[in-house]
Chain A
Amino acid sequence: MGPRCRELVELVTEYLEEALSPADRRAFQAHVRGCDDCRVYLGQMRETIDALGELPPARLPDAAREELLARFRSWSARA
Chain B
Amino acid sequence: MSKPEDLVRKLPNDIGGDPAEQIERRERDLEPWEKRCHALADVLDFHKIINTEEKRRGVEALGTEMIANLSYYERWVVAFTNIAFEKGILSPGELAQKMDELRSRWTC
A binds B: no
